[in-house]
Amino acid sequence: MLMRPAEGDTRTLEALLRRIPLARGAVSDPTSPGELAGAWEQVRSVFTSSRGDAGVLTCAGDVATSGLMRFLDNDEVRGWARALLEPVTDKTGAAKIDLRHTLRTFLAHNGQSDASATALGIHRHTLRYRMGKVAEALGREVDDPAVRAELWIALQLDDQL
């Protein structure tokens, strides 16, 4: 539906959506006629990728600023995160080294050894040893930025459980 921007338009649409069983919707920011095709693509993308909660009107501008984690909130992705981190997760508390905490600290310091070692209160050679153990346990090269990004996302998702 195309509408001129006016106070209360989105509230009216939300009220309508709540009255129709299983209805949901998406809107773009106000758009000029020349930018309509792009706005339509944005709304379509937001609609198909947003949660399927009934009665919800998703605003494309809000989605763009809400971050990636919003789209990863499902059991399948959380299961992936749990499985990925399992080799460095000590559930018994018996391990002498908390590899998961070491990994989190290393990632939080953008892979910088000196800063990570300082934050952990250990020598940088000790950090190197521990990160070698992390890489061995995970079967992944933690120097690879793509691997570090996946591990950071996995840690964030697993923390939400």
pLDDT tens-digit readout, 47-56 = 776 666 777 7
Residue 106 lies in a domain: yes
98 with 154, same domain? yes
C-beta separation of 99 from 88 below 8 A: yes
What does the pLDDT read at residue 119? 94
86 with 149, same domain? yes
pLDDT at 8 over 80: no
77 with 155, same domain? yes
C-beta separation of 17 from 24 below 8 A: yes
Share of the chain above pLDDT 70, in %: 84
Residue 2 lies in a domain: no
Phi, psi of 47 (to 5 degrees): -65, -45
Give the structural domain span for 29: 9-66
C-beta separation of 142 from 151 below 8 A: yes
Q: Identify the band that residue 95 occupies on the pLDDT scale cut at 50, 70 and 90.
A: confident
Residue 63's closest CA among 53, 77, 51? 51
CATH of the domain at 135: 1.10.10.2840
Residue 138's closest CA among 102, 114, 108, 109? 102
Give the model confidence (pLDDT) of 128-138 as tens digits.
999 999 999 99
Give the global pTM.
0.61
Count the domains in the chain.
2
The whole-number average pLDDT for the span 137-146 is: 94
What does the pLDDT read at residue 103? 96
Q: Which residues pair with 5 in a beta bridge?
A: none
Is 8 strand, coil or helix?
Answer: coil
The whole-number average pLDDT for the span 110-123 is: 94
Tokens of 107: 């990632």
Last residue of a domain, one of 44, 66, 88: 66
Residues in Cβ contact with 42 at an 8 Å cutoff, skipping those fewer than 6 apart: 28, 60
C-beta separation of 158 from 85 below 8 A: yes
Share of the chain above pLDDT 90, in %: 43
